[in-house]
C-alpha cells in the first residue's frame, strides 16, 4: 500500500543498498536515493595512478589509494547532494552513517523532519557515528553491548532483519553452507568442521566457499576457492536450498549477522561461534549449534535432528516490515 511518507535513503554500500531500496519500495514508501549513480571504490583516475606510483616508489608511501578514494567519494557526495536542491523529506534513513562525510549528514538533516541511523557493525569499528550524534533523532545499534558501553548517547538496540517473504517450500539439497571472504581463521575453522564430520564418518553434502583475488591452497578438499564474490541474491539462492548455515562472529562485536535472520526466514539451522545468540527469543538448541569451533562434540546429532519450527509471530518480528516500522516510529 502506497504511503505519503517521503524517505531519503543513504547507504554507501551500494550492493546491499539495493536490497534495502527494493524492500522500502515494497512497503510503499516514496523513496529518494542519495547515491543513485554507481560509485566504484578505489577506482583511481589516470593522474591518481601516476601519483600512487610516485608515492610508492620515491616516498615509500603506500596509503595513497585510501586518501584518493576519500577524495573521490567526497566529490561524488557533493555531486549527489545537488540532486536534492529545494527538496524536503519526512524521514532520512542512514545506514552506517560513520562512513558518510559530515557535510552530507549536516545538509540532509536540514531538509528532513526526522533523521535516524542504523549501525550494522559494532561501534568498536564505527565509533565515528557518535561524533554525529547531534544530527540524529535516534541511532540504532545491532549490538546490545554498545548501548551499555555508551549510556550517554541514548542508543537504541535493534537487531538485523530478513528481507522479503518467508519461504519453507524449497527442498534442501546442501547439508552445510558457507560463502564468505577469505580470512585465515575462518579457513581453519571450516577445515576443522569438515575434518570432524569425516572423523565421525558422517556422509554429508556441502558448499563452503571462500573468495579472494589471490590464490590460496584450501586446507580441505571440500573448501572451494573463488576469485569473485557472489551477489546477495546468489547467496540467498544458496541459502534456500541448504539445510544448515555456518556463521562466524567478528571479534570486534557481538551483534548477530544477517545469516541468523536468513535462517529464521527460510527455516534453516545455523552453526555459530556467537554465544550471545543464546540471549535471543528465537534461540533453540535444535536450530542453533553454538561452538568455539574447537569442541564440536554433538554436531553430528545436531545436524541429523529435525528443525524446530518457530511461532509465526516470532518469525514476523524479525521481518523487514517490522524493522522499518520500528526504525521510523521509535
In terms of domains, do 190 and 299 share one?
yes
**Domain check: are 147 and 213 in the same one?**
no
Q: How far is CA 308 from the centre of its chain?
A: 25
Q: Is residue 50 part of a domain?
A: yes
Query: pLDDT tens-digit profile of 215-268?
Result: 888 889 999 998 888 889 999 999 999 999 999 999 999 999 999 999 999 999
Q: Which domain holds residue 305?
A: 174-316
CATH, residue 44: 3.40.50
Would 191 be classed as within a structural domain? Answer: yes
Give the pLDDT of residue 3. Answer: 63
Asked if residue 48 has pLDDT above 90, the reply is no
State pLDDT tens for residues 103-115.
999 999 999 999 9
Are 250 and 122 in a shared domain? no
Residues 26, 111, single domain; the answer is yes
For residue 182, is it within any domain? yes
b/e sequence 108-131, b meaning 16+ C-beta within 10 Å: bbebbebbbbbbbbbbeebeebbe
Is 311 part of a structural domain of the chain?
Answer: yes
- Assign residue 304 the CATH number of its domain: 3.40.50.2000
Does residue 12 share a domain with residue 154? yes
CA 166 and chain centroid, separation: 19
Name every residue whose Cβ is closer than 8 Å to that of residue 207 and which is 6 or more positions away in sequence. 174, 176, 177, 178, 179, 224, 238, 242
Q: Structural domain tally of the chain? A: 2
Amino acid at each position: 500500500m502506497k504511503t505519503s511518507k517521503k524517505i531519503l535513503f543513504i547507504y554507501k554500500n551500494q550492493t546491499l543498498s539495493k536490497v534495502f531500496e527494493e524492500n522500502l519500495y515494497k512497503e510503499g514508501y516514496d523513496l529518494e536515493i542519495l547515491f543513485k549513480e554507481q560509485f566504484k571504490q578505489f577506482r583511481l583516475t589516470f593522474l591518481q595512478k601516476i601519483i600512487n606510483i610516485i608515492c610508492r616508489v620515491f616516498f615509500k608511501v603506500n596509503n595513497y589509494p585510501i586518501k584518493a578514494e576519500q577524495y573521490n567519494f567526497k566529490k561524488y557526495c557533493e555531486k549527489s547532494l545537488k540532486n536534492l536542491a529545494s527538496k524536503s523529506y519526512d524521514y532520512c534513513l542512514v545506514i552506517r552513517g560513520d562512513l558518510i562525510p559530515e557535510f552530507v549528514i549536516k545538509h540532509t538533516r536540514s531538509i528532513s523532519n526526522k533523521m535516524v541511523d542504523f549501525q550494522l557493525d559494532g561501534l568498536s569499528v564505527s565509533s565515528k557515528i557518535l561524533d554525529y550524534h547531534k544530527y540524529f533523532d535516534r541511532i540504532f545499534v545491532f549490538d546490545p553491548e554498545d548501548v551499555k558501553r555508551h549510556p550517554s548517547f541514548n542508543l537504541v538496540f535493534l537487531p538485523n532483519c530478513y528481507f522479503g517473504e518467508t519461504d519453507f517450500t524449497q527442498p534442501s539439497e546442501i547439508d552445510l553452507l558457507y560463502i564468505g571472504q577469505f580470512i585465515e581463521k575462518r579457513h581453519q575453522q571450516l577445515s576443522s568442521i569438515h575434518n570432524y564430520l569425516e572423523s565421525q564418518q558422517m556422509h554429508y553434502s556441502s558448499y563452503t566457499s571462500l573468495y579472494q583475488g589471490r590464490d590460496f591452497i584450501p586446507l580441505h578438499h571440500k573448501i572451494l576457492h573463488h576469485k569473485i564474490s557472489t551477489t546477495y541474491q546468489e547467496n540467498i539462492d544458496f541459502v534456500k536450498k541448504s539445510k544448515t548455515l555456518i556463521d562466524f562472529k567478528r571479534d570486534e562485536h557481538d551483534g548477530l549477522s544477517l545469516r541468523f535472520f536468513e535462517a529464521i526466514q527460510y527455516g534453516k539451522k545455523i552453526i555459530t561461534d556467537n554465544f550471545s545468540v543464546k540471549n535471543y527469543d528465537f534461540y533453540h538448541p535444535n536450530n542453533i549449534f553454538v561452538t568455539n569451533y574447537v569442541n564440536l562434540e554433538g554436531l553430528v546429532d545436531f545436524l541429523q535432528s529435525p528443525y524446530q519450527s518457530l511461532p509465526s509471530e516470532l518469525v514476523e518480528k524479525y521481518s523487514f516490515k517490522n524493522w522499518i516500522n520500528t526504525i521510523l516510529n521509535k
